[in-house]
Amino acid sequence: MNSPTNTKNNKTMTQNTNNLAAYIWSLADLLRGDFKQSQYGRIILPFTLLRRLEGVLADSKAAVVAQVDKVQQMHVPEEAQEKYLLRATNGLTFFNTSKMDLSKLGEAGIAANLESYIQGFSKDAREIFEHFKFTEFIGQLNDANLLYKIVQKVRQTDLSPKAISNHDMGLVFEELIRRFAEGSNETAGEHFTPRDIVRLTTSLVFMEDDDALTRPGLIRTIYDPTAGTGGFLSAGMEYVHELNPDARMVAYGQELNPESYAICKADMLIKGQEVKNIKLGNTLSSDQLYADKFNYMLSNPPFGVDWKKIEQDIKDENTQKGFAGRFGPGLPRVSDGSLLFLLHLISKLRDLSNGGARIGIILNGSPLFTGGAGSGESEIRRYILEADLLEAIVALPTDMFYNTGISTYVWILSNKKSIERKGKVQLINGVNLCGKMRKSLGSKRNVMDEADIATITRVFGEFAVVDARELDKPAEQKSNRGRQSANPKTEAPKTFASKIFNTFEFGYRRISIERPLRESCQFNDERLNTLRFDTGALNAAMQWVYVAYGAGSPDDNTHGWSDAPDCGRYGDLTAHADAIRKHIKTHFGELKEKQIKDLLDRNTWLEQKALLLKARQLQQTIGTAQHDDMNRFDEMLNAACKKATLALDAKEKKMIKTAVSWKNPVAEKVIKKVHKGKANPLYGLFEVNGQVVEYQPDTELRDNENVALDPTQSVNAINEAYFVKGVQPHVPDAWIDASKKDDKDQEIGIVGYEIPFNRHFYQYLPPRDLAEIDADLDRVSGEIMALLQEVHV
């Protein structure tokens, strides 16, 4: 069958390419039964590529074959041989040295002949078939007696440039990729971006440059660091082709999955692109286009995938290169690498002096708000917003992707913002701009049509504010299973809205609010007895050992441990070491070997006992009364030590203080330091009895407040106004911790940024009237009682 005749009419051209794609895909009729549906594309795509390459090479094939013997006699490396042979192709970037083609393979020995034919391609073209694992499928087709039939059908399809242009062949190949994606639901989401999302993102990235893209002789670059099968690259080229058929769009990309890489590279080869620009490998750990900058960038990185495998590579680049590398602004948590891809793209922005650049990237909700002030995520958002790179964020409907139904967002960034967008960010809420698919594809249940896409692009292009506008969309179909309410809950209307914010409105300062520590102390027996055990990791285990092996029975004066200074048994666990070790391994698994040895060491127990006995001596002087002013504790302790002629080192004093004290909200505030100078209660310097004192902060009462940024006022003025109005009336003894400063501007409070998208578009729905709720409860109660009566009867 020959391909449909091309016309200049776009609509006819689309119909013709679709017809051709449908015909090629009909190869699946031969594969059905012997291969899985998810394997069809792995056979059809490389055969389609092979037939296209054969058609492109037809005119130069004889000249190349004639040169083969001469070049081989030169005894030069393969790379040099390729350069000589390319001269005979009349400007093509690939060749085939085999004398065979699909019409000469024969039926006997067809598998070996086809493999030999494939090996005759130049390196880049040959590599594509290798990543398709085409040789394996040739063997499987041959075993199923299908190879000859497939080859005969493929060779009857005219895919030469005379029959179908590069542009139209690209459309055909994209349609085949789409069919492959829809037949491979289990893996589609990893390698394919739905076409409606591709169209929307591409339009948002390119539309601001529509005027520039129509200029004659235009050359632009497009890049996708997570190229997949090349959907974004193809969409970008198609967009520019529609505006300016004479423009040249040079595609670059990198892809981790070998099969997707092969499809992408094949698609670019069919479109006449330089396939050396498509790289295989991990973009984050091994950027194979590190020296390149681009005009346009599009990406749909994997959602919520950790980067633990390449953690060291990323951290090394961050610490060693800083802002000279890709990850200078900061690193997100290891559990989600989405923002690393965004930083990678930002590092690829072509300088404004060279025309600037634009980015479109699809992310989940996490990069909007995950991470508080000072975190890696917040610092990345801070860098983007303070550098004024973010133009807009579009919220997409849920259930838009093959492998996930989560909320997703399109971020549009640029280093060449128009004047009206300077210092501004547009948020567009398009979560309701979709329709239900007749048949779901994996997790993809919703689709955006041309009108939905146009609604978003129009509002973005006009940089317009749109108040919540109700859409003419059908209501969600609710399940009719189970008990239905007589007065169902009112559903939120399906709306569309757009808002514009200043970049600083997403920023805040996290100030630390401290409150004074209040403690009491008491030297009673219960508190002193806690000194018998280590206060660290051994505490619980020592308590168990003491009860099980040390305390003995009240009448046992032979085996139990005595607190008498001359007790020779205290702390001796030699006889029980094996049993204790076994119990510890089972019930205290967190203890390490060294800690277990310390537990079994008698000296550990004797040191704690000695401290206990010292505390009991102090008790005789201090007494057992409760003291609510810890500011006198050191004085009281020192006096008792002097009277008892005891010497305590700093560690012992601290352990005793910890044992006998506790927090008490009605006790006196604990003074940390007395200052010279003026009081400043806002920052923790209080005037008390003619002195300026600083209180010890209670870490358990510590709180953080987020204060909105306002560049029209000083940082201290904003912080203090917020504190006086929102904090001081509720906790009068609180103060701002002036030591917590931002690393970059050294002002009080750590700067953070978040983009609370849902909060800005929240629609309040008043609760149902209480009378309606009561009526529902009465009706249900009545039904329950009727059912119970039936049971009793």
Residue % of the chain over a pLDDT of 70? 94
Average pLDDT of the residues in 46-65: 90
Sorted by sequence, the CB contacts under 8 Å of residue 785 that are 6+ apart come out as none
Lowest mean pLDDT among 193-197, 312-316, 418-422, 579-583: 193-197
Sorted by sequence, the CB contacts under 8 Å of residue 227 that are 6+ apart come out as 233, 253, 254, 255, 260, 261, 264, 278
Average pLDDT of the residues in 555-571: 77
Backbone torsions φ then ψ of 359, nearest 5 degrees? -130, 140
- What is the C-alpha separation between 265 and 49, in angstroms, rounded? 10
**In this predicted model, which residue has the larger pLDDT, 780 or 226?**
226
- What is the C-alpha separation between 79 and 76, in angstroms, rounded? 8
What tokens appear for 300 in the block? 């749909």
Average pLDDT of the residues in 486-509: 86
The confidence band for 331, taking pLDDT boundaries of 50, 70 and 90, is: very high
Neighbours of 282 (CB within 10 A): 16
Average pLDDT of the residues in 297-323: 93
The confidence band for 415, taking pLDDT boundaries of 50, 70 and 90, is: very high
Per-residue pLDDT at 595 exceeds 50 = yes
pLDDT at 191: 55
Average pLDDT of the residues in 343-366: 95
Q: What is the pLDDT of residues 190-227, one digit of tens each?
A: 557 888 899 999 999 999 888 878 888 788 999 999 99
pLDDT at 15: 66
Average pLDDT of the residues in 715-735: 95
Per-residue pLDDT at 628 exceeds 90 = yes
CA dihedral 45, 51, 56, 57 (to 10 degrees): 120
Residue 506 contacts residue 423 (beta carbons within 8 Å): no
The confidence band for 555, taking pLDDT boundaries of 50, 70 and 90, is: very low
What tokens appear for 279 in the block? 């790289």
Lowest mean pLDDT among 21-30, 88-97, 620-629: 88-97
- Strands of 528-570 (E only): list them: none
The confidence band for 479, taking pLDDT boundaries of 50, 70 and 90, is: low
Burial (0-12, 13-18, 19+ Cβ within 10 Å), 100:
middle
pLDDT at 474: 76
pLDDT at 12: 39
Lowest mean pLDDT among 98-112, 579-593, 733-747: 98-112
pLDDT at 770: 85
- Provide the residue type at 577 as one letter: A
Average pLDDT of the residues in 105-124: 90
Q: What is the pLDDT of residues 691-706, one digit of tens each?
A: 999 999 999 999 999 9
For β-strands 390-395 and 424-429, DSSP reports them as: parallel
**In this predicted model, which residue has the larger pLDDT, 649 or 79?**
649
What tokens appear for 229 in the block? 């099968």
Per-residue pLDDT at 475 exceeds 90 = no
* pLDDT mean across residues, the chain: 89
What tokens appear for 217 in the block? 């002789």
The confidence band for 6, taking pLDDT boundaries of 50, 70 and 90, is: very low
pLDDT at 487: 57
Average pLDDT of the residues in 654-680: 94
- What is the C-alpha separation between 266 and 686, in angstroms, rounded? 74
Q: What is the pLDDT of residues 264-300, one digit of tens each?
A: 888 888 888 888 999 999 999 999 999 999 999 999 9
